[in-house]
Amino acid sequence: MRTLLHGRSRWLLAVALLAPAACLRMRPPPPPLPMDFFEEGRATYYGSPSSNVRSGKVAVTREWDPGMMTGSHRTLPLGSCVEVQNLENGMDARVHITDRGAYTPGVIIDLSFAAAKRLGMIDTRNGAARVRLTPCG
């Protein structure tokens, strides 16, 4: 007597049952940034509350949302938290790095709309500001 599931069907069922469990795994926390870390340069922002796309790209960690306090950086560990201070007006915000980016020369971080708004960048003439990045803490 044959079983209901055999060969390829059994393998597909196993994958279908185990795949959700693999997706639910917790990511390990990012390594802490050295307390003496800082970086200065220009910041820009992407998206707006009315846009659902970010230049046709989804964040690496899939946590991108224009309403979240997130940013893109070329080298910082994904998931790390940085304090971003606008050097032009003194405003600051805590931002989680969720993507790779800021590939424009001279730009060190791309911020979500919410982070840019908190930093007072939205109403500036070019949507950019000089900023300093330091570790959260």
The boundaries of the domain holding residue 51 are 39-135
Does residue 32 lie in a domain region? no
Whether 27 is in a domain gets the answer no
Please tell me the pTM assigned to this model. 0.70
Beta bridge partners of 65: none
Q: Is residue 21 part of a domain?
A: no
Residue type present at position 124:
T
Question: Greater confidence, 25 or 112?
Answer: 112
Residue 45: CA atoms inside 13 Å, Cβ hemisphere, count? 33
The total number of residues written for the chain in this structure:
137
Q: What 3-state class would DSSP assign to 4? A: coil
* Residue carrying structure tokens 């069907």: 9
Q: Is residue 14 part of a domain?
A: no
CATH of the domain at 101: 2.40.40.10
17 domain residue, yes or no = no
Look at residue 22 and tell me if it is in a domain. Answer: no
Give 105-116 pLDDT, tens digit per residue: 999 999 999 999
From the list 126, 66, 120, the residue with the least C-alpha distance to 89 is 120
CA dist., res. 90 & res. 85, Å (int)? 6
Q: Given pLDDT bands bounded at 50, 70 and 90, which one contains residue 54? A: very low
User: What rounded mean pLDDT belongs to the chain?
Assistant: 80
Helix (H, G, I), strand (E, B) or coil at 65: coil
Kindly report the number of other CB atoms within 10 A of residue 128's CB atom.
17
Domain tally for the chain? 1
Mean pLDDT, residues 72-92 taken together = 95
Start-end of H helices in the chain: 8-23, 113-118
